[in-house]
């Protein structure tokens, strides 16, 4: 394992030091507990948005803290969900009196820790609403399982709910909009290579030179099946078909198409994939009205991609277009 | 003379458990890499290391308070699924034992049962879901069936070990391994494994 | 070799199709010859900015076409400089009557092809000024060699000269500002892993599990030397020391610090490196006034990073801050 | 009877050179990977393939015009250093032979000399800089020294081969390999290698 780090157990703290040095003018960074907060938080009267999760998915979530998106992010250790005390500290730091939304990806760890944090925040008189993301169609969904993982849609929830909060919407409204994004979005991912966490020093799974892993998550966990590596057109079909069937997306739907890199795949290739996504979407009669292409929710240095489709309506589209001013996503500002 | 568990005994247990988490860190990481995200060993080791550090600085006077202190440290340093689940376990175990100088089998068994119930309430895992619950349940059953603390903890450790091994063929229905579906079968659950070490440490602490 | 492509010799064309599908509202994309042009080009009275180079460095250059930055980009095949006819077509497409600046990285191929293009453009009555970037301190500089490579500074030249052109400065002024950025900037890079071009299908060099390559360029070419992999602090020293000595940068200087990912390195690690850069810069008495951290000039899926320092003055800082609206760099718009 | 090169002969030469670039593509890529960016074989193959395609569609009537057409295709399809350099080479070679039906040794040698001068003017490479010039110069020298076209092209091919091999120990001072400094020694220059194939094809075309 070769990485640009000083020591496996310092990587998150060191990266936070880097973020502090780079963005200290717009973010408050705490190392104990790990925390990133908008410099101007709490914004009086505005619903606060807190997200969090394991590190190793950068720019998610720290890169999305700023005007028009998150008020705070709680980074955990690499691929390890953060702890309730971080989340509580974040919640208190961003509460401007209008309540706080927790954006939680559906992983047992994230869910349990955020539950505890919400309990604790409630105990301190802060109203918390939770938006759970679970958009990964690669995972079987049933009451008797942990359910689907939250993946690509999380970025879209953070942007769109963030804009709703910035627009002065109420706690319930912001949460409802976030949940709508989740309900109308579907994702699926694949990997060409595994990743290596600093702590383990070993590949998260083994893949032959001619194999790809389909239905991968964002934690280096193995996917649902592996198959012979094929052209980008086949990869795109493999991911788009279950996405399109699941919601389902129908001819005439307006969508946002998001092609996400897993961290180690060149942008050149993501555009190759996007060309295929656009082709398949057109064949289904979908109108891609907005798009996002790049490394936005990653799995360390994993090579691969995920595709997310979000069904748009006027409100979601307006909030997507609203100004955002964060280290990793910025427009209109 | 009947044996009881006191503050020093719990303290010894926690030291041994911390030691086990450090020694088996790579093993737990490897198990979690196969069907999860590879952090279980690192998480537990980090948490227990911190817990022992805190106990060094300031050890609460009774067994229950000590376990609650460990719970709080785990909750705030482990993260992941294991943090809240082990935190919940220790919190409820401690709650049943607070303000006691010495714990007998009856009190101990009762506290464990409440602790396991709390873990199940928090995580919704049932027997056979391929989680730490699969080691916890048989261990607590064995404890309840025993005649003495010594015999009980030895039987619990053995039952936990069997429960841990029995997770191998299971298809996971909770936690991160459930995303693998059928592919999770054939692998031992990391959380059940750390739970086995917890009971092994408890038996050893009592014996020493 | 596993890649998200359809076929090695289609990768650039397919990616351009993806860019067309994604950004067709703001860019005109041509497949024959390969060309990306601002939708509103030529802007009457504005100096046009054309850049170009081999593909595989995305988002450079295509991601930087838009208001406040480039007017056109000419992508070559992967790691192969584009051809004079592309450059001529780009030059004609963006000439708004005020002349055109060619931004050329100092590689024999780029230089020769742009020279031919400038000759051809001159023949058609378009005034062309060339800004050559050669900021790589890893390369020995002498009259009797090809000189230094153009690397990280190229992105800064494109942004700053782009803002100057947008502000209505003359051809000579825009070129002079671009040259000043190059003269005041220095870079150096390193790699943890090689990259694989689609056409060759093989790693560009071999590195042992515990070795890193220091003084790497952006074409998968081997660096100046390899050494035992060390912590991020050592890597940062290795790159910063020659950079600081070369200009030299002096205590009190205001700088822009740019930590660039080679394409396959997680953003998390780039922030770890940035923390070290900030530490070393502070120890030298430098004031980092601006920063840029991310994958901006890449080498396919190579893991590693480069560091660029640019000495700032009021004018450069103002043009850096000026609005930019491109697919890959966007603020104030 | 004295041999001369005509349009069909140049056409044959270009076919053989294109064939060589296709056959040796991977070899040139491997050489360029060692001390460059690994694209020389792909670039030359793409360019010559396109050139032949264009000649198929519309082949200029005389040897000079044919070479200029190849030059223009290389310039607009090869890119990199090789595109403008081979383009310049063919452009000036063709310029010296335009409007001729048949080329004798004197005219041929003179055109080659001007072509090599033009390549050196464009790229500033001198003998010993580890570039295609190190194959070109000895080949053209050999051609000039010869008594007949046949002997001349055979000698030129042999000289180019020796020049190509002689690049192995050199430290590059031009082109991408120069960034490697001392580490460029011990590797054969890819451009000198494709130039050797150019002369080999020329000799073969004349013989067939
Ligand atoms: N819902 C649950 N109930 C009980 N135990 C669970 C549950 N989900 C996961 N676990 C246990 O947690 C272990 C994984 O812990 P850990 O790796 O530290 O957390 P994470 O899965 O968040 O990375 C699993 O092996 C399993 O035993
Ligand atoms: N200045 C120069 N003069 C003559 N030949 C050169 C010069 N620079 C490079 N070359 C030749 O070009 C070859 C490399 O061509 P190619 O790989 O196609 O281009 P690039 O280096 O741009 O990738 C080298 O092997 C060398 O022979
Ligand atoms: Mg985890
Ligand atoms: Mg885990
Ligand atoms: Mg090249
Ligand atoms: Mg080359």
First-to-last CA distance in chain A? 40
Residue D29 DSSP SS3: helix
Ligand 2 close to Cβ of residue D46 (< 6 A):
no
Question: Token pair of A298, please?
Answer: 């990653």
Contact status, residue D120 vs residue D140, Cβ threshold 8 Å: no
Does the pLDDT at position B1 exceed 60? no
List all residues of chain D from 132 to 161 with a beta carbon under 8 Å from chain C: none
Does the pLDDT at position C98 exceed 80? yes
Contact status, residue A67 vs residue A37, Cβ threshold 8 Å: no
Average pLDDT of the segment spanning D160-177: 97
CB contact under 8 A, C83 and D83: yes
Confidence of residue A261 (pLDDT cuts 50, 70, 90): very high
Is the ipTM, as predicted for this complex, more than 0.90? Answer: yes
Chains D and C touch (3+ CB pairs under 8 A): yes
Sequence-distant (≥ 6) Cβ neighbours of residue D125 within 8 angstroms: D119, D131, D132, D133, D173, D174, D175
Average pLDDT of the segment spanning A81-106: 98
Ligand 2 close to Cβ of residue D68 (< 6 A):
no
Does the pLDDT at position D4 exceed 90? no
| Helices B40-57 and B25-35, axial angle in degrees (round to 10) | 140
The Cα C134–Cα C154 span in angstroms is 9
- Site of tokens 């946002």: A256
CB contact under 8 A, A298 and C267: yes
Backbone angles phi, psi at B157, to 5 degrees: -60, -45
Question: Token pair of C195, please?
Answer: 């990259």
Residue B147 DSSP SS3: coil
Q: What is the pLDDT of residue C224?
A: 84
CA-based R_g, chain C, Å? 19
Question: Token pair of D118, please?
Answer: 């033009």
Contact status, residue A295 vs residue A261, Cβ threshold 8 Å: yes
pLDDT in tens, D43-90: 999 999 999 999 999 989 999 999 999 999 999 999 999 999 999 999
Does the pLDDT at position D160 exceed 80? yes
CB contact under 8 A, A22 and C274: yes
Q: What is the pLDDT of residue A284?
A: 98
The Cα A4–Cα A2 span in angstroms is 7
Q: What is the pLDDT of residue A142?
A: 78
Element containing residue D41 per DSSP (H, E): helix D40-57
Q: Is the Cβ of A288 closer than 8 Å to some Cβ of chain C? A: yes
pLDDT in tens, A141-166: 777 788 999 999 999 999 999 999 99
Average pLDDT of the segment spanning C276-302: 98
Average pLDDT of the segment spanning D155-177: 97
What domains appear along chain A, each with residue ranges and CATH number?
14-184 (3.40.50.10440), 185-311 (3.30.1180.20)
Average pLDDT, chain D: 95
- Cβ-count burial of B102 within 10 angstroms (0-12 exposed, 13-18 middle, 19+ buried)? middle
Q: What is the DSSP letter of C12?
A: H
Does the pLDDT at position A96 exceed 70? yes
Angle in degrees, CA B36, A10, C239, rounded to 5: 115
Confidence of residue D2 (pLDDT cuts 50, 70, 90): low
Pocket test for ligand 1, best of B38, B42, B79, B82 (most atoms within 8 A of CB): B82
Average pLDDT of the segment spanning B98-109: 90
CB contact under 8 A, A268 and C55: yes
CB contact under 8 A, A4 and C300: no
The Cα B138–Cα B4 span in angstroms is 22
- Say how many CA atoms lie within 13 Å of D139 toward its Cβ: 31
The Cα B162–Cα C94 span in angstroms is 74
Q: What is the pLDDT of residue B2?
A: 60
Residues with CB under 5 A from ligand 4 (ion): B 32, 36-37, 39-40
- Say how many CA atoms lie within 13 Å of D18 toward its Cβ: 20
Which of A107, A199, A205 should we substitute to test contact with B (largest number of B Cβ atoms within 10 Å)?
A: A199
Q: How far is D83 from chain C (nearest CA, A)?
A: 8
Pick from C216, C205, C207: nearest CA to C139 = C216
Nearest CA to ligand 1 atom 22: B80
Does the pLDDT at position B152 exceed 70? yes
Element containing residue B150 per DSSP (H, E): helix B149-166
Pocket test for ligand 1, best of B79, B118, B176 (most atoms within 8 A of CB): B176
Q: Is the Cβ of C209 closer than 8 Å to some Cβ of chain A? A: yes
Range with the poorest average pLDDT among A3-7, A57-61, A174-178, B175-179: B175-179
What domains appear along chain D, each with residue ranges and CATH number?
7-206 (1.25.40.340)
Ligand 2 close to Cβ of residue D133 (< 6 A):
yes
Kind of pairing, strands A27-31 and A34-38? antiparallel
Which of A77, A85, A112, A189 should we substitute to test contact with B (largest number of B Cβ atoms within 10 Å)?
A: A112
| Percent of chain D predicted with pLDDT > 90 | 90
Per annotation, catalytic residue among C23, C57, C61, C102: C57
Ligand 2 close to Cβ of residue D191 (< 6 A):
yes
Does the pLDDT at position A312 exceed 90? yes
Q: What is the pLDDT of residue C194?
A: 95
């Amino acid at each position: 394992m070769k990485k640009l780090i000083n020591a496996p157990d310092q990587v998150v703290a060191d990266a936070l030091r880097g973020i502090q040095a780079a963005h200290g003018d717009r973010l408050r960074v705490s190392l104990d507990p790990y925390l990133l907060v908008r410099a101007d938080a709490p914004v009086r009267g505005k619903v606060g948005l807190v997200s969090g999760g394991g590190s190793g998915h950068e720019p998610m979530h720290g890169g999305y803290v700023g005007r028009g998106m998150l008020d705070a992010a709680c980074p955990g250790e690499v691929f390890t969900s953060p702890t309730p005390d971080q989340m509580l500290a974040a919640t208190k730091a961003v509460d401007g009196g209008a309540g706080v939304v927790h954006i939680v990806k559906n992983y047992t760890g994230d869910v349990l820790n955020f539950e505890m944090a919400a309990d604790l925040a409630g105990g301190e008189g802060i109203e918390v609403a939770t938006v759970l993301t679970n958009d990964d169609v690669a995972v079987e969904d049933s009451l008797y399982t942990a359910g689907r993982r939250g993946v690509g849609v999380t970025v879209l929830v953070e942007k769109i709910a963030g804009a709703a909060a910035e627009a002065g919407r109420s706690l319930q409204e912001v949460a409802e909009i976030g949940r709508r994004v989740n309900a109308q979005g579907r994702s699926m991912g694949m990997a060409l290579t595994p990743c290596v966490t600093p702590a383990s020093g070993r590949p998260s799974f083994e893949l032959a030179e001619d194999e790809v892993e389909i239905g991968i998550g964002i934690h280096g966990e193995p996917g649902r099946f592996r198959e012979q590596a094929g052209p980008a057109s086949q990869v795109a079909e493999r991911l788009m078909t279950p996405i399109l069937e699941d919601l389902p997306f129908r001819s005439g739907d307006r969508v946002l198409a998001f092609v996400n890199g897993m961290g180690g795949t060149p942008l050149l290739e993501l555009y190759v994939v996007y060309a295929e996504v656009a082709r398949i979407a057109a064949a289904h009669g979908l109108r891609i009205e907005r798009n996002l292409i790049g490394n936005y929710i990653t799995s360390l240095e994993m090579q691969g991609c995920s595709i997310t489709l979000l069904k748009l309506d006027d409100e979601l589209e307006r909030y997507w277009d609203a100004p955002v001013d964060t280290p990793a996503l910025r427009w209109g500002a | 003379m009947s044996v009881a568990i006191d503050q020093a005994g719990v303290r010894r247990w926690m030291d041994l458990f911390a030691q086990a988490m450090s020694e088996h860190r790579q093993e737990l990481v490897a198990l979690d890499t196969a069907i999860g995200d590879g952090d279980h060993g690192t998480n537990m080791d980090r948490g227990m290391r911190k817990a022992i550090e805190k106990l060094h600085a300031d050890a609460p006077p009774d067994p229950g308070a000590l376990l609650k202190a460990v719970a709080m440290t785990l909750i705030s340093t482990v993260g992941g699924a294991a943090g809240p689940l082990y935190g919940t376990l220790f919190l409820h175990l401690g709650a049943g034992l607070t303000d006691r100088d010495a714990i007998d089998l009856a009190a101990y068994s009762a506290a464990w049962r409440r602790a396991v119930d709390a873990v199940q309430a928090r995580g919704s895992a049932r027997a056979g879901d391929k989680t730490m619950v699969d080691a916890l349940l048989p261990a607590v059953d064995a404890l309840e069936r025993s005649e003495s603390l010594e015999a009980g903890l030895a039987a619990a450790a053995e039952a936990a070990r069997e429960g841990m091994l029995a997770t191998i063929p299971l298809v996971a229905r909770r936690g991160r391994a459930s995303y693998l579906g059928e592919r999770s079968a054939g692998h031992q659950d990391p959380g059940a494994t750390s739970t086995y070490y917890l009971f092994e440490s408890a038996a050893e602490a009592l014996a020493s």
